[in-house]
Amino acid sequence: MKKLITIALSLLLLPFLAQGQPILNTLTPDQKAYELSLIWPEMAYNFDNMDHCAEVDADSLYRAFVPVVRATEDDYAYSKAIMRYLASFQNSHTYVVDAPWLVAPFAQPYIRTEYSDGKLFLTNFASKYADRMRVGDEVVRINGVDAVTYMRENMLPCVPATNNDHRLQIAMSFMGLWTLFPYGTMFDLTLKGDTLYQLSLPAEKLVDEPSNDWYVNDYERNKENICYIDHTSGTGYLRLTDCFETGKQFFLQHKDSLAECQHIILDLTHNVGGQSFNTDDVVGFLAKVDSFSSETILSKMNIAYMKAQGSYRCWENADPDDIVCQMKNGTYFYTIPSTRYPNPYYPDNFKGKVMVIQGNNTASAAEWLVSRLHQDKSIVFYGEKTSGATGNPYQLNLPSGMIVRFNTWRTFGPDGTETSYGFAPDIPMDFSDCYKATTAEELFRRLVAKIGAE
Residue of 418, 436, 430 whose CA lies nearest to 49: 418
Q: Is the pTM of this model over 0.75?
A: yes
**Long-range contacts at 127-131 (CB < 8 A, ≥ 24 apart):** 127/213, 127/214, 127/215, 128/213, 129/201, 129/215, 130/215
CATH architecture for residues 226-295+339-387+422-451: Alpha-Beta Complex (3.90)
Q: Evaluate whether 93 touches 273 at the Cβ level (below 8 Å).
A: no
pLDDT at 149: 97
Above 90 in pLDDT, residue 241? yes
pLDDT at 399: 95
Above 80 in pLDDT, residue 286? yes
Above 80 in pLDDT, residue 278? yes
Q: Evaluate whether 363 touches 271 at the Cβ level (below 8 Å).
A: yes
Above 90 in pLDDT, residue 119? yes
Q: Is the domain 106-206 a CATH 2.30.42.10 member?
A: yes
Pick the CATH number of 2-97 from 3.30.750, 1.10.3060, 1.10.3470, 1.10.357: 3.30.750
Which of 24-28, 164-168, 282-286, 420-424 is the least confident region?
A: 24-28
pLDDT at 17: 37
Above 50 in pLDDT, residue 8? no
Q: Which residues contact 152 (CB under 8 A, 6 or more apart)?
A: 171
pLDDT at 320: 66
Q: Evaluate whether 342 touches 324 at the Cβ level (below 8 Å).
A: no
Above 90 in pLDDT, residue 228? yes
Above 80 in pLDDT, residue 191? yes
C-alpha distance across the termini of the chain, in Å = 55
Return the domain boundaries, the chain. 2-97, 106-206, 226-295+339-387+422-451, 301-334
Above 90 in pLDDT, residue 213? no
Above 60 in pLDDT, residue 10? no
What average pLDDT does range 64-83 have in this prediction?
Answer: 95
More confident residue, 389 or 306: 389
Range of 16-20, 56-60, 85-89, 318-322 with top mean pLDDT: 85-89
Per residue in 343-393, pLDDT (tens digit) is 888 888 899 999 999 999 999 999 999 999 998 999 999 999 999 998 889
Q: Say how far apart CA 407 and CA 170 lie, in whole Å.
A: 19
